Amino acid sequence: MDHLTLFFEAAFIQNLALTFFLGMCMFLAVSKRMDTALGFGLAVFVVQTVTVPVNHLIHQHLLRSGALAWAGLSEVDLSFLGLITYVGVIAAMVQVMEMVLERYAPALARSFGIFLPLLTVNCAILGGSLFMVQRDYSFSQSVVYGAGSGFGWAIAIALLAGVRERLKYADPPAGLRGLGLTFIVVGLISLAFMAFPGIRTG
Amino acid sequence: MKTGLRSQLQRLVSRRTGRTTLDKQHDQADTGSGPLHYRPAEFTDRAPHVRDAFNFSRWMWLLTAALVPALFVGLYNTGYQVGEALRSLGTDATLLGHGSLLASIGLSAESPGVLGSAVVGLVYFVPVYLVALLIGGGWEHLFAVMRGRNRVEGVALTTLLFALSLPPTVPLWQVAVGMSFGVVLGKEVFGGTGKTFLNPALVGLVFLYFAYPDTMRNSSVWVPVAGWADGALLDRMASGGIEALEASGITWLDSFFGWTPGAFGDRSAAACVVGAVLLVSMRVVSWRILAGGVLGLAVAAVAFGSFASGLVPLADLAWYWHVTLGSFAFGLVFFATDPVTAPLTDAGRWIYGMLIGAMTVIIRAANATHSDGVMLAILLGNVSAPLIDHFVVRANVRRRARRHG
């Protein structure tokens, strides 16, 4: 598959947030302000672009059935360790990211609060790695897929933040104020994203 | 604060007199007599105290007036298409619905003439519009009553736009479902007209489009005659390209004036141009969105023609064809320009228009699942409008900071 096509598909047609509804907790929690949302989208993009290829290498050369043939252990199948390893890689990556942000952008790090460490258990990021394994991407494809899906998630949270900022002056019924209305907004945005599936990218 | 001293006092007073202190004073101030009371001849009852003749109500009625050409042409065309279909299918073709009504008023649907065609169109359109108006207006009224808000005229325009975009064969219960979805989830939950981020009529249409594809995008829905299944022009081109149209003798002018099968009111680009001239000259809609839309459409059509020529049937279609096809003109003039859901910055309006135009061509040419992507493109534009505004404003702030820095 063409890499540009894969990027477009990962970002728009199979948008992690709006098509698979992955990573919803942070998608809803960090989208109140545009600046925070853009920063967080960037964080997800970077983490995703790094962790998917790294997990790809680990999967291909350590965990996959028969992957340890280079060490003379061709019968060993460590793929049951997949989930915990991917989470470990993501946690390490997020830790590095947190330190970098606290050093160079302390204001942004503060505005993320608890959600930056929680990126470790963000289902969008773990989902990216699991999709990569399931679809059997090559290394270069995993780089493109990681970047594309992270970019798509960042676009989605930026769109949501824009709408939520505009809805600051909305006047919803009392029971819908806050998260209730945001759920409806996410549903409507994902309705708009239904324009993409079916676009012939090849 | 409900527990504050002041509100305690107020509660006490109101319990004794049945009125709050402020209520009593309001009565005094409103009688408007005595030397201390001056009241101008014209006054506004609520803030903000704008004294422009061009108030919200007039704005809405002007938009409705701009729809009148599209409405008339659409009504005539609906009847005209019925006659064409009946003649071409021969004697055993029957009308879907309203056949006995037309027979009882002595109107031959097969060759109705100009006025008769409009009557046939009216017979099909009025039930659809009435259902949309009753359901949409009903929700507006219900929310206004329950929440203690004013009803606004916006809902009349919403229902008209919604009804004009539906195919003539649409079942009335689906009209009710779509209008309910559009008005409640597209508008009322956000607090009513002006407080939402998506055009409510558009939300209802897109909901119907995905929920009931059989009645919204089948090739047989556009003319209410049993056995007719030629499809709208875009359906015919999706398989055969422009040659399929030329074979059936349809010219660009036919498509421009709207003598082709389609939804009630969205077929005539000419009628939309008339509406657009009125709206732009009254500065009700932004010409930047219209120009951006046509520009984006043209650029995307030329790009498809030069890079994807021959890959997809619609790639080679000229941009002036694209403008007249599907609901592009109607959608761009009446849906995309909605000031509530469009960007608020001028540069943003250009970008937004171009996004809609380009997405329209992309969906038409490259997306086999949708033959006409205008409504989806506009919905996507609506969703992106706040983000576009954000970046335009930020770029502006940065430029000025550099200039005056």
- pTM given for the model: 0.87
Q: What is the mean pLDDT of chain B?
A: 84
Q: How far apart are CA A160 and CA B322, in angstroms?
A: 31
Tell me what the mean pLDDT of segment A26-45 comes to: 89
Contact B386 A172 (CB under 8 A): no
pLDDT tops 80 at residue B29:
no
All residues of chain B having their beta carbon less than 8 Å from the beta carbon of residue A183 are: none
Q: How far apart are CA B34 and CA B135, in angstroms?
A: 48
Lookup result for tokens 């790695």 = A129
Q: Does B404 lie in the same domain as B289?
A: yes
pLDDT tops 60 at residue B118:
yes
> What's the domain count of chain B?
3
Q: Does B344 lie in the same domain as B209?
A: no
Q: Does B78 lie in the same domain as B206?
A: yes
- The torsion angle over the Cα atoms of residues B285, B290, B292 and B295, rounded to 10 degrees, is -170
- Asked which of B176, B209, B231 is the last residue of a domain, the reply is B231
**Residues of B at the A interface, defined by Cβ within 8 angstroms:** 147, 149, 185-186, 189-192, 195-198, 203, 206-207, 210, 312, 359, 362-363, 366-370, 373, 376-377, 379-380, 382-387, 389-390
pLDDT tops 70 at residue B5:
no
Give the max Cα distance, chain A. 67
Which of A162, A193, A195 lies nearest to residue B390, judging by beta carbons? A162
B357 band by pLDDT with thresholds 50, 70 and 90: very high
Contact B206 A200 (CB under 8 A): no
Nearest alpha-carbon partner for B199 in B360, B59, B335: B335
All residues of chain A having their beta carbon less than 8 Å from the beta carbon of residue B369 are: 197-198
pLDDT at B1: 44
Q: How far apart are CA B127 and CA A179, in angstroms?
A: 38
The more confident residue out of A29 and B57 is A29
The answer to whether residue B258 is domain-embedded is no
Q: How far apart are CA B368 and CA A142, in angstroms?
A: 28
Q: Does B91 lie in the same domain as B8?
A: no
In Å, how far are A184, B149, B194, B211, B244 from A171, measured between CA atoms?
A: 14, 11, 10, 28, 51
All residues of chain B having their beta carbon less than 8 Å from the beta carbon of residue A186 are: none
B253 DSSP assignment: H
The answer to whether residue B161 is domain-embedded is yes
Q: Does B120 lie in the same domain as B22?
A: no
The answer to whether residue B306 is domain-embedded is yes
Tell me what percent of the residues of chain A surpass a pLDDT of 90.
Answer: 40
Which of B149, B312, B386 lies nearest to residue A165, judging by beta carbons? B386
Q: Does B73 lie in the same domain as B34?
A: no
All residues of chain B having their beta carbon less than 8 Å from the beta carbon of residue A188 are: 185-186, 198, 203, 383
* Shortest Cα–Cα distance, B137 to chain A (Å): 18
Contact indicator for B78, B125 with CB cutoff of 8 Å: yes
pLDDT at B28: 47
Give me the sign of the Cα torsion angle B73, B79, B82, B87: negative
In chain B, which residue's Cα lies nearest the Cα of A163? B386
The answer to whether residue B265 is domain-embedded is no
Q: Which long-range contacts (CB under 8 A, 24 or more apart) does B235-238 make?
A: B235/B371, B237/B313, B237/B314, B237/B317, B237/B325, B238/B313, B238/B314, B238/B368, B238/B371
Contact A188 B383 (CB under 8 A): yes
Q: Does B315 lie in the same domain as B205?
A: no
Contact A159 B370 (CB under 8 A): no
Q: Could you list the residue range(s) of the whole structural domain that residue B103 is in?
A: 57-231
Contact A191 B379 (CB under 8 A): yes
Orientation angle between helical segments B113-147 and B56-89, nearest 10 degrees: 140
- Which of B78-82, B92-96, B232-236 shows the highest mean pLDDT? B78-82
The answer to whether residue B245 is domain-embedded is no
Nearest alpha-carbon partner for B97 in B115, B120, B131, B113: B120
In chain B, which residue's Cα lies nearest the Cα of A198? B367
Q: Does B62 lie in the same domain as B13?
A: no
The answer to whether residue B250 is domain-embedded is no
pLDDT at B93: 75
Tell me what the mean pLDDT of segment B230-256 comes to: 81
What are the pLDDT digits (tens) for B208-227?
A: 999 998 888 888 888 888 88
A169 DSSP assignment: G
Lookup result for tokens 């699942």 = B369
The answer to whether residue B372 is domain-embedded is yes
All residues of chain A having their beta carbon less than 8 Å from the beta carbon of residue B362 are: 199
Q: In sequence order, what DSSP letters do the residues of A64-106 get, joined into one string?
A: STTGGGGGT-TT---GGGHHHHHHHHHHHHHHHHHHHHHHH-H
B235 band by pLDDT with thresholds 50, 70 and 90: confident
pLDDT tops 60 at residue A147:
yes
pLDDT at B15: 60
B380 band by pLDDT with thresholds 50, 70 and 90: very high
Q: In sequence order, what DSSP letters do the residues of A138-162 get, joined into one string?
A: -HHHHHHHHHHHHHHHHHHHHHHHH
* Shortest Cα–Cα distance, A123 to chain B (Å): 24
C-alpha B110: how far from its chain's center? Answer: 31
All residues of chain B having their beta carbon less than 8 Å from the beta carbon of residue A171 are: 149, 190-192, 195
What are the pLDDT digits (tens) for A83-116?
A: 899 999 999 989 988 888 889 988 888 877 777 8
pLDDT at A202: 58
The more confident residue out of B218 and B138 is B138
pLDDT at B218: 83
**Residues of A at the B interface, defined by Cβ within 8 angstroms:** 34, 158-159, 161-163, 165-167, 169-173, 176, 181, 184-185, 188-189, 191-195, 197-201
Orientation angle between helical segments B200-211 and A179-192, nearest 10 degrees: 60
Contact indicator for A130, A79 with CB cutoff of 8 Å: no
Q: Does B190 lie in the same domain as B136?
A: yes
Size of interface A-B (CB pairs under 8 A): 89
* Shortest Cα–Cα distance, B203 to chain A (Å): 8
Tell me what the mean pLDDT of segment B143-163 comes to: 88
Q: Does B299 lie in the same domain as B367?
A: yes
In chain B, which residue's Cα lies nearest the Cα of A187? B185
Q: Which long-range contacts (CB under 8 A, 24 or more apart) does B59-62 make?
A: B59/B284, B60/B152, B60/B153, B60/B154, B60/B156, B60/B157, B61/B153, B62/B278, B62/B279, B62/B282, B62/B284
Q: Does B63 lie in the same domain as B40?
A: no
All residues of chain B having their beta carbon less than 8 Å from the beta carbon of residue A199 are: 362-363, 366-367
R_g over Cα of chain A: 18
Q: Does B13 lie in the same domain as B64?
A: no
B258 DSSP assignment: T
B39 band by pLDDT with thresholds 50, 70 and 90: low
Q: How far apart are CA B232 and CA B219, in angstroms?
A: 7
